[in-house]
Structure 1
Amino acid sequence: MQRRPDPASTTPAHLTSAGEPVTVTVARDVRPDQREAFERWADEVLGLAAGFPGNLGASMLRPGPGSTRYHLVYRFADGESLARWERSSVRQTALTRVEHLSDGADYARVAGLDSFFTALTPPRPGPRWRLTVLTIAAVFAITLGFSLLVAPHVASWPLPLRLLLSATVVVVLLGQVLMPRLTRWFGPWLRGGR
């Protein structure tokens, strides 16, 4: 595998300026004789990331049978928090100690609505029903507001157009306005015990 450039110097501008949660997954092929050392390093760096301002969670996924690929997942409140972590001297120092343990790294990032459904991975995830309840409450608030404020003005429109407008309003407000704020405000509850 080819080594990818350090993401601190290549973070896309649209993610750095994102005002919504951003998730980074770092996949590393760890040398078989270095697994224990890598896991010790990963525990340390995940702890450092978890204590970093704006971090919403950090976790490690171990390789399955026959694989050497570990995944480290970091979730930050926004692109600015992620960029500060990636530029931090703490992270740079940690990266110098992992190079001899693995044969490269692949970085992937998602922001916004994608991160809610594909990468909500705090260290100890709370029950999924809590995210479901929060999502239902957000959709209910949006559809109620739409029904009271917009629907009366478009009642004469054909049904497919009204539904298209309603779906567009719900998805945009859910993904761009409400869920980023709600997951930040209710983060401790979402990650809490069962």
Structure 2
Amino acid sequence: MRCRRSPIRSPCPRRACSTTWTRPPSARTPRPSAPGCASAEPPAHPYEMYRTMLRRHDDRLVKVSPGTLYHQVGRLAEYGLVRERGTERAGNRPERTTYAITSAGREALRAEVRRLIAEPTGERSDFRVGLAEIGHLSAPAARAALADRLANARAEREEARAAIRGIERVGLAERHWLDHTYGLAVAEAQIAWLAGVLERLDAGALAWEGSRIAGPS
């Protein structure tokens, strides 16, 4: 019998092989697998995993819905990365199956997390592509675009701060939301860089078509 290939590589039932918790490169997400991270917690049903992700504000990193989460957890179970632990019922609601991560799933998850953190991915940044071509814009248009980006970065910073405050209120250990403090640091660095570029443009220190840009009054 030939081993089936899965979008999530997993231990082959016929032979021992290395495990990576991943999808094809074109479909990778910032987290190795949202259900996988949730499944690393105590046994839970997919909807509880979904609620855990919302509490962590993981929906800002990975597009998620209860329906897709049920499907993905089913795929993880199919390939031996999580397993059913039982069922539970609350009131008149239908029974829900709870899942727990397996030893193979935990090792695969850890391996993929290590890879994502340690290895640069060379992902394309649309912002950097735009910066590389910004010279095609007139000076006023370039300034307006950078000012809009600065406003958006400031909004992202406030969103990150609000998310962190919300997470702190529920008492979640910081190791589970380092991505939010990283995102806040990136937003603050981008704000400082953009403000500096705009200041240089307004002062005429950054040449643009040989003209000086009039800053805001």
Which has the bigger relative contact order, CA under 8 A and spacing at least 6? 1
Fold match by TM threshold 0.5: no
Larger radius of gyration: 2
Which has more strand, going by share of residues?
Answer: 1
Structure-1-length-normalised TM-score: 0.30
